[in-house]
Amino acid sequence: MTVSPSSSAQQARQALARRLTDLCRDAGLTGAELADRCGWSRSKSSRIMNARTPPSADDIRAWCRACAAEEQTEDLIASLRTAEGMWVAWRRMERSGLARAQQARLPLYQRTRRFRSYSSWLVPGMIQTMPYTTAALRAIQRRRGLVDDVTEAVAARMERQRVLREGDRRFAFLVEESVLRSGIGGADVMTGQLEHLVAVASRPNVSLGVVPQRPDRERWPVEGFWIYDAAQVNVELVSGYLTITQPSEVAMYADTFAELAELAVYGTKARALIEAAAERLR
């Protein structure tokens, strides 16, 4: 399990370590005695108990056997998988291709009613045009050397956009002005994408804000993130995909979104920035 920058992931690791430690103590064993029964070094038991080294599923099976508590094995392995799922390296998420990674997120979008998205890199996927999505996913596929299922991945993302038009969902999108001026796919693709943003902003369930480039900002750009209702945040980092569910951390991202929203412009002012970016392309 890769160590995550999120305290949510770290707290999940620590909770699992505490459960294993309690299991050992309830069996009347010391860490050294447990290590002897499992056939590994005593330092390994200490590292697992102190959440310095995450156990593997096989480690948990051996631990439960040593403590005569094999009925708890599957539950503890499930806790391990939950902790692992909070931080997923791109290589692992996309090992079967981009399409499956896109399809895997659909249930989360379907059950969410309030979306908040901030992007400092790209136009958020929910409001991308097909050519823009194709250019973005093609670049990822080539850069990471993935199997070529870009056509299927684009179709999956376009299908996911249906939630924008269905039900009583509300969407708040914030993008940095630099996103409007960062070329991807060429001038024609970017021009079409900017025109689409103007159209999307007119939807009654959508708020689109653009954070202008200014020389005196006190809240600087941060990594792109999505907030789903008030339950979960997903952050896309260079190295992987972070899922945050710890309420205090979700609240931090909500506060950051609110601060950035205060800096943004909307309506005619946002449209003016979008049209200015399009004019530069022309």
> What's the confidence (pLDDT) of residue 66?
96
**pLDDT digits 0-9 by tens, 100-140:** 888 888 899 999 999 999 999 999 999 999 999 999 999 99
**How large is the average pLDDT for residues 174-185?**
93
Q: N- to C-terminal Cα distance for the chain?
A: 48
- Mean pLDDT of the chain, nearest integer: 90
Q: What is the pLDDT of residue 2?
A: 44
Single-letter residue type at 20: L
Walk me through the domains of the chain, giving residue ranges and CATH numbers.
Answer: 7-85 (1.10.260.40), 89-281 (3.30.870.10)
What is the value of pTM for the model shown?
0.76
So what's the pLDDT on residue 241? 80
**Residue 97 Ramachandran class (φ > 0 left, ψ -120 to 50 alpha, else beta):** left
Is the predicted pLDDT of residue 89 greater than 70, yes or no?
no
| CA–CA distance, 38 with 56 (Å, rounded to integer) | 13
Cα-Cα-Cα-Cα dihedral sign, residues 165, 166, 168, 169: negative
What was the pLDDT predicted at 3? 45
pLDDT, tens digit, 9 for 90 and up, residues 129-169: 999 999 999 999 998 888 899 999 999 999 999 999 998 99
SS3 250: helix
Report whether pLDDT(10) > 90. Answer: no
Confidence of residue 5 (pLDDT cuts 50, 70, 90): low
